[in-house]
Structure 1
Amino acid sequence: MVIDSIIGWLLLLLVVLHPISVVKAQEVEDEREFDYARGSEKGPEKWGTLHKEWSLCNKGKMQSPIDLSNSRVDIVQKSNKLSRNYKPTTAILINRGHDIAVHWEGNAGSIDINGTSYSLQQAHWHSPSEHTINGRRYSLELHMVHKTTDPTSKHQIAVIAVLYKIGKPNPFLSKLVSNITSLVKQENEHRHPGVIDPREIHMSCRRYYSYIGSLTVPPCTQNVIWTISKKVRSVSLDQVKLLRKAVHDHAHKNSRPLQRDHLRDIQLIVPKKRN
């Protein structure tokens, strides 16, 4: 009986430390289960019907991406910029089928949102951009995915997004070009580029959009805190083409179509004016 009680308490402890919401929050790593082709049996319109665990992709009311329209945005002034505490650590570069992703293996640091710390897990790219600004779609969008270990937080995931237009080569991507090139058509393969510093992913910490949405890939988990940098960075056309060439899906894009905003609050955070 004593042993049974101990086992019971251990199982309860595991549930507390590893809430179901965190498990379900994981992005699908086997990206052969879905695609981005309009009209396809595995395309965005069908994601919610492929698995019952993916039902939010079709039925959710807080889905991403959305259009960040001036007519829908509330301007909020804040004196403090977005708190980021990143640091360089070892990472691996993975060809996930529809995208190229950087997974940090050690402690790559975190961001602080409303008093909750979110640890950086991985980053990946979508082309063209998934979010639009006043209807304009950009050439590339980077997602930096963070998670919290606080089981009491309603928002387990926070994503920072950076948009890019065609122009000068992006310095962060330039450092990864040789490794990405070696992954061309190598499905589920990975490379070890060594230490990658997430601080080299530049973004505006004082002007950014903020809203509550979802993951943009199955299972389309909701209650994700989105932070989209207002400043649009540059990337070369060759860099964008390489990111698409490297994956095995032969698709021209890996962007989910815009979703209805359902009158959600969308904020544009700007520096507080000095008196």
Structure 2
Amino acid sequence: MNPNAKTFVFFFLAVFFIYLSLPNVSSNPHQEVNDETPFTYQPKTETGPEGWGNINPDWKVCNTGNFQSPIDLTNERVSLIHDQAWKRQYKPAPAVITNRGHDIMVSWKGDAGKIKVRHTDYNLVQCHWHSPSEHTVNGTSYDLELHMVHTSATGRTAVIGVLYKLGEPNKFLTKLLNGIKAVGKEEINLGILDPRDIRFQTRKFYRYIGSLTVPPCTEGIIWTIVKRVNTISKEQITALRDAVRDGFETNSRPVQNQNGRSVWFYDPNV
């Protein structure tokens, strides 16, 4: 690594540690809105993504924020870092599946484990899906994106994004398929569910500071997007789309302006 790159890495790490020491920007930053009726994903409408910030005063950052998600992960703007920079420690725990109208969510009711980012523990809370993918890579959109939402003891949020393309069925979703097809307004008990069954490769990934991708669009979220693209079957995508409320079959927020933000690519082989 050349001297300029080393200087950048040291600067980034200093800024990142300062960020983690700041007070939380919201009392419940991981709380995405559960009532889907006020907003839609219809482009160029008052209730669509361009108008979310005008629907509710608490959502104004959706339109005014400078650190919004998702973004395009363009290689030309990515800075390489030789560091793993996180650890996963998941375990089986009781879980339920819920239809939030705009998406399908699996919530763990017990201790499902955690990830560690820069010496801070983030406990796994829930996961949900967006179709097509919200983040893009060099302008390429994928068929599905899984978000694994974690929170720290101080209320901070870290989200892992996993991208999927059409191919072999996803084993984790295969276990959930009956629940996805059956879930209505009432949650369904899934019994003990192991988040390790999600099975995504973790050695190479993108990281940046962004926001929730649904209202209230809270900023200060640590995003980690796994580089390796996994596979999902057409039946599984169809099940997720059929389960949500009409109008939310495609539930992806458009790519947001990067606004000069740094995106870091972690590769232990660099």
Structure 2-normalised TM-score? 0.88
Q: CA deviation at 1:20?
A: 7.1
Question: Within 5 A, what are the aligned runs for 1:115-134?
Answer: 115-134=119-138
1:42 aligns with 2:47: yes
SS in 1 for 2:241: helix
> What CA distance in whole angstroms lies between the structure 2 residues aligned with 1:81 and 1:112?
8
Q: Which residue identity is paired with 1:181?
A: K
Q: Where does residue 5 of structure 1 map in the other structure?
A: none
Matches of 1:122 and 1:42, distance apart in 2: 26
Indicate the residue corresponding to 1:212 in structure 2.
209
Alignment CA distance shift 1:34-1:56 (3 Å):
same
**Residue 87 of structure 1, aligned match among 79, 85, 91:** 91
1:260 is aligned, of 244, 257, 263, to 257
Other-structure match for 1:64: 69
User: In the TM superposition, what whole-angstrom CA distance separates every residue of 1:161-214 from its partner, at most 9, and x where no partner exists?
Assistant: 00000000000000000111112xx3x321111111101111222100000000
Deviation at 1:75, TM superposition (A): 1.1
Instruction: Tell me the alpha carbon deviations over residues 52-74 of structure 1, each in whole angstroms, 9 at most, x when there is no partner.
Output: 11011000000000000011111
Partners of 2:262 and 2:201 in 1: how far apart? 21
Which residue among 29, 51, 58 is the counterpart of 1:53?
Answer: 58
Deviations 1:76-133 (A, max 9, x none): 111x463011111000100000100001001111100011100110000000000000
Question: Matches of 1:36 and 1:224 in 2, distance apart?
Answer: 21
Larger mean Cα displacement after TM superposition, 193-202 or 169-178: 193-202
Contact 2:85 2:117 in 1 (8 A): no
Aligned twin of 1:176: 176
Partner secondary structure for residue 22 of structure 1: coil
Q: Percent of pairs identical after alignment?
A: 49
Indicate how the Cα distance of structure 1 residues 200 and 81 shifts in structure 2: closer, same or farther if over 3 A, else same.
Answer: farther
Q: How does 1:1-275 map to 2 (within 5 A)?
A: 21-78=26-83, 80=84, 82-150=86-154, 156-183=156-183, 186=184, 188-272=185-269
Q: How many residues align?
A: 248
Q: Which amino acid aligns with 2:170?
A: N
Indicate if the aligned counterparts of 1:94 and 1:189 stay in contact, CA closer than 8 A. yes
Q: Secondary structure at the match of 2:116?
A: strand
Q: Which runs of 5+ in 1 are unaligned?
A: 1-18
Deviation of 1:41 after TM superposition, in Å, equals 2.5
Please say if residues 128 and 141 of structure 1, whose CA atoms lie closer than 8 Å, have aligned partners that are also in contact.
Answer: yes
State the distance in 2 between where 1:139 and 1:23 align: 30
**RMSD over aligned Cα atoms:** 1.6
Q: Is the 8 A contact 1:205 1:229 kept in 2?
A: yes
TM-score of the superposed pair, with normalisation by structure 1:
0.87
Kept in 2: contact 1:207–1:231 (CA 8 A): yes
The structural deviation recorded for 1:25 is 4.3
Question: What is the alpha-carbon distance in structure 2 between the residues aligned to residue 24 and residue 122 of structure 1?
Answer: 14
Q: Tell me how far apart the structure 1 counterparts of residues 25 and 248 of structure 2 sit (CA, whole Å).
A: 33
Conserved? CA contact 1:94–1:190, under 8 Å: yes
Q: Summarize the Cα distance change of 1:24–1:160 in structure 2 as closer, same or farther, 3 Å threshold.
A: closer
